[in-house]
Chain A
Amino acid sequence: MIKFENVSKIYPNGHVGLKNVDLQIEQGEFVAIIGLSGAGKSTLLRCVNKMHDISSGKLTVNGVDVTQLKGKEIRRFRSKIGMIFQSFNLITRTTVLGNVLVSLVPELSWWRRLLGVYPATAKIAGLKALDNVGILDKAYTRVDQLSGGQQQRVALARTLVGDPDIILADEPVAALDPVTAKIVMDDFQRINREMNISILLNIHHVDLAVAYADRIVGIRQGEIVFDGPTSAVTQEIIDEIYQGHGSSSIKGSAEPVAAEVVVDA
């Protein structure tokens, strides 16, 4: 369970990233976080695994008070939370399996870490994770020879091999074409349902968010302006999340994605 209690985040330059956020996410939920670019979606995700420190309030993840973690504890804490990025962030020039196994590096003995030699059990775990996302046959291919969708699935397998409770995905399909994006979203959904892993996913495409998530969190200028089940999302709510700058005639300045939704809905 992830629990934000009146959390605020102020960047060193004074910019307010999150303002009085209250949010509770149960184990196994699939939550999509939507909002304009710069609204604070990435900030919210990055607070969960302490990539960012919060400025005030309380944040607990599975009963652990995140603010109290230090040094080694942070690293151990993070290894149970998977993270996926828009730009995949894989090791170029390394095989698919090599990329997946990096996740297990913190658990290896010192000489294995030095030489980069993985035990057979680790390799089997890595291959299993690859099989889970359907790219087992690419295990020994170099990642730079894969398509974007396949690369994102390598990144997904990389988080799975660490056996996480939570996966944080920061715009995982923004760099993919619509068809590939659906395939990757299918993977997220299946993992969420079969393995009961909580998924927090930032996403630009409201139609994808509505199609896959159980719950939608709308965020605007660091504040949560909507939080409810997907079924409760209406056109007015979407307009409110994307256009609520005070006036109602700023459609033109909203991102094209938002405009596209208006048409879709």
Chain B
Amino acid sequence: MSEMIELKLNEQPSKKRQYLLLGGIILAMLLWSLTAITFSAPDDGGAKIAGNIIKGILSPDMQLLWNFTSQGVFYLLFETICIAFLGTIFGAILSIPFAFLMAPSVVPKPVYLITRFLVVVIRTIPSLVYGLMFVRVSGPGPFAGVLTMSLTSIGMVSKLYVDVIEDIDRGILEAMDAMGCTTFEKIRFGIIPQLIANFSSITIYRFDMNLRDATILGLVGAGGIGSPLIFAMNSYRWHQVGSILIGLVILILIVEAISNKLRAKLVNG
């Protein structure tokens, strides 16, 4: 009996070597990447600048914050919401064909592998490259932002849609066959109801992310609150930066709370 216990004891896989190897790799990568830490602070010292920045942000420009013209924080936030909203809607619509072409249960292997590769490419190209390309199409402004967000949304949204598609319960299709339903009726009444709730939930989640990412668009003149924010930062107007950031943070927190509620309701019924 004790022999068997000993045998079992020896059977326990020894993961020591694996852990050591992993630890070694991480340590080596860490040492290598430590060279990224460099200090090249301007002459008057980073600390002083940091102090100025914090002071500025903590005493926001109230005039800008409570300004309701098209230069004020409120309108800019509204414009940002519009960009993120439209970008999400169009992105979600574009994601549907991509998702079906990525689903192993829908298309043959070569098709879904090629589509998946394409989506990885779309997802990896930084959004501001798209931004610059779209500025050529529509001129600078929020329109370019919408186009950029539509494209950048595809990567994540279609990937999440695929999981929902793969989860479809096919039993209902058999039952509808037995009822004498056409293919159109099977899709309309058997498949779409299964997809709609989860698709909406994913889309809302993406809207949340797009709102956060919308600041980047400002870098390339693609509209939204990013441009004035980065302009204010580059010209050291920290009071304005403060008021814009306050507006943005509060907006994102509110939208996040609402979207969490909505998504919980969608998924649990």
Contacts and interface: CB of A to CB of B under 8 A. Distances in A.
A adjacent to B, CB under 8 Å: yes
Interface of A: 49, 51, 74-79, 81-83, 85, 87-94, 98, 102-103, 105-106, 113-114, 116, 142, 144-145, 155, 158, 162, 168
A82 B172 CA distance: 14
A93 B194 contact: yes
A164 to B, nearest CB: 10
B178 A81 contact: yes
Nearest to B176: A102
Contact of B181 (A51, A94, A106): A106
Contacts of A91: 172, 189-190, 193-194
B179 interface: yes
A136 to B, nearest CB: 20
A92 B194 contact: yes
Given A144-B269, A145-B269, A51 B179 contact: no
Contacts of A83: 175, 178-179
B179 A78 contact: yes
Contacts of A78: 177-180
Interface of B: 169, 171-172, 174-182, 184-185, 188-190, 193-194, 196-197, 269
A218 B195 CA distance: 42
Contacts of A82: 178
Contact of B189 (A74, A93, A116): A116
Can you list the 3 inter-chain pairs with the closest CB atoms, starting with the nearest? A89-B171, A75-B180, A78-B180
Given A98-B193, A113-B185, A113-B188, A90 B172 contact: yes
B74 to A, nearest CB: 38
A62 to B, nearest CB: 15
A79 B180 contact: yes
A85 B171 contact: yes
A108 to B, nearest CB: 9
A66 to B, nearest CB: 14
Nearest to A103: B179
A260 to B, nearest CB: 28
B172 A93 contact: no
A196 B188 CA distance: 33
A231 to B, nearest CB: 32
A145 B268 CA distance: 10
A50 B180 CA distance: 10
Given A89-B172, A94-B193, A142-B269, A114 B178 contact: no
Nearest to B266: A93
Contacts of A145: 269
9 contacts: A51-B174, A74-B180, A78-B179, A83-B178, A89-B174, A93-B194, A102-B176, A106-B182, A116-B189
Given A91-B189, A98-B193, A116-B189, A77 B180 contact: yes
A77 B181 CA distance: 11
A75 B172 contact: no
Contact of B171 (A88, A105, A168): A88
Contacts of A142: 269
Nearest to A86: B171
